[in-house]
Each structure stands twice: as structure tokens, then as C-alpha cells.
Amino acid sequence: MELIQSTQNPLYKLAGKLATHRRDRLKQGLMLLDGTHLVAAALDAGLALQHVLVTQAAINNPECVALVKRADARVHLLDEPLFATLSELPSLTGMLAIAAMPAPATPQRGGLVLALDGVQDPGNVGSILRTALAAGVGQVWLSPGCADVWSPKVLRAGMGAQFVLALHERANLPALLAAFDGPVAATLLEGSVDLYDADLRGNLALVLGAEGQGVSPDIAALATLRLRIPMAPGIESLNVGAAAAICLYERVRQSR
């Protein structure tokens, strides 16, 4: 097995680009998976790995051994200092993998769709994707201003929900929502109904807006169901991940 020790190694350079730049991920159609948990989630979801990178400290770790066996990919040893520049996990159990990004979903016109409008925080986007998967969301549409779901931070926060969900990034939300065959719901203050008085069953597109600004005006204008999450006096807004969880799970409850 090859031991990669040089910063000039092409595979090391590729992994570094995939870790840091969306542009390179899009150009190559590849992503970097950091950690055994994500690698296992990718394999569980049926994704093919192209390369697996492990340190000498990790190569005999039972979890790594099992994953290397499952992955039908080229395995490379990566020097500890180089590994540390690519991974946020301990090298003793650490593992990196390069895999093709799943193809984007073709937008659907019905079912349950979650649309994210300019949600920039990677932790929020990842948490929302996990919630969406748990709540049975059919598709997630993300506007161009959202965090990249294939970045290492969003992959970590999403814990692999990305590999199972149907995702449509850089979505033209106004056009897609206008064509949606069902209510377009958004959390808005003006003219809104209490969340628990709204009927969330059936076809539904739920839009959540950016931290701070909320849903953008052109999308707010398309909302046919304006929702208000009840809040105690003295607080104006919730974290967008909390708002997503509350709305999606009220739909879960109503749909039982």
C-alpha cells in the first residue's frame, strides 16, 4: 500500500481542494468524507467510494478494517501530519474517503418539500437535513445562498442525511414554489395563523428563511400559508433549526 508523504501528491492535493472549495467539488463532482461515521453512512446509502485514506495508526483499528473491507475502493496510507490538515478527527480512528456526490434530485411538484432560503450556517443546514430525513421530507430545495450541503462542516452536522435525502441545490425557489401543487407555507409574522391552527397535511412546501433576515420578500409573496410559531413574550425569533423541527414535527403529528 502506497504511503502518501508529500504535499505534492495529486490525491492529497485533490482531497485538500475538496475539503475547502465548493468550486472544486462541483468541477470534480466529488466530495471528501471525514470520519468513520460518515464513511459508514455513505456505504449504508449505497454510495460508491473512489479512494479511502487512513493513517498508519488507524489502519489496524477494527472499525477502519471493517469499513475498508466493505468499501470497494483504492486504499491509501496517509502520513499523520498530512492527515491532520484534512481531518478534524483524531488520527487513531480517523479515515477519509473521496466519493462522487449523488446526482441532484429532479424537483417534484407535490409531497412534502422543505425549501431553505439563504440558510448560511453549516451547523444549522446539517441539523435541518437530519430533521428533514427523520420527519419524512420528500425533497429539500436549497437557494444559492445556502451553505453547501457537501462541505465537510455540513456533512458532519448532517451525519450523512445528505446521502439519503433527495436534494436540489442552487434552486430557483421562486420558480419552483410557483409551480408547486399545494400550499406554500412560510414562517412570517404579518397576516399569519398560529402553527397549531394550520392544516399541514397533504402536499406542502415549507420555506424557512435565513438567520436574521427570514424569508426573502419575493418568496414571502408566494406564501399561501403564513405560519406563526407561538412564543412567550420577550422573544422575537427562534434558531432556524429549531423552527424547522417545530414545523416539520407538527406536520408529522398531524399526519399520523
Site membership for a second copy, residue 252 (CB under 8 A): yes
Is 244 near a second copy (CB under 8 A)?
yes
Binding segment for a second copy (CB under 8 A), chosen from 28-36, 93-101, 181-189, 239-247, is 239-247
127 binds a second copy (CB under 8 A): yes
> Alpha-carbon distance 230 to 246, whole Å?
11
Q: What is the 3-state secondary structure (H, E, C) of the chain?
A: CCEECCCCCHHHHHHHHHHHCHHHHHHHCEEEEECHHHHHHHHHCCCCEEEEEECCCCCCCHHHHHHHHHCCCEEEEECHHHHHHHCCCCCCCCEEEEEECCCCCCCCCCCEEEEEECCCCHHHHHHHHHHHHHCCCCEEEECCCCCCCCCHHHHHHHCCHHHHCEEECCCCHHHHHHCCCCCEEEECCCCCEEHHHCCCCCCEEEEEEECCCECCHHHHCCCCEEEECCCCCCCCCCCHHHHHHHHHHHHHHHCC
Cα distance between residue 130 and residue 135, in whole Å: 9
**Which region among 47-55, 57-65, 148-156, 233-241 touches a second copy (by CB under 8 A)?**
233-241
| Contact set for a second copy, span 25-54 (CB under 8 A) | 44
Q: Smallest distance, Å, CB 96 to a second copy?
A: 20
- Asked whether the beta carbons of 114 and 132 are under 8 A apart, the reply is yes
166 binds a second copy (CB under 8 A): no
Length of the chain (residues): 256
Nearer to a second copy by Cβ, of 44 and 72: the residue is: 44
Closest CB to a second copy among 103 and 235? 235
Binding part of the chain for a second copy, among 58-66, 89-97, 182-190, 223-231 by CB under 8 A, reads 223-231
Q: Does 175 participate in binding a second copy (rule CB under 8 A)?
A: no
Q: How far apart are CA 47 and CA 45, in angstroms?
A: 6
The reply on whether position 90 binds a second copy by CB under 8 A is no
Candidate segments 8-16, 71-79, 126-134, 177-185, binder of a second copy by CB under 8 A: 126-134
Taking CB under 8 A as the binding criterion, the range among 67-75, 95-103, 119-127, 145-153 that sits at the site for a second copy is 119-127
Q: Residue 207 or 248: which CB sits closer to a second copy?
A: 248
Nearer to a second copy, 161 or 177 (CB): 161
Q: Which is nearer to a second copy, 44 or 88 (CB)?
A: 44
Q: Which of 243, 249, 210, 211 is nearest to 227 (CA)?
A: 243
Nearer to a second copy, 170 or 201 (CB): 201
The answer to whether residue 133 forms part of the interface with a second copy (CB under 8 A) is yes
The residue ranges that bind a second copy (CB under 8 A) are 44, 121, 123, 126-128, 130-131, 133-136, 157, 159, 161, 164, 196, 229-232, 234-235, 237-239, 241-246, 249-250, 252-253, 256
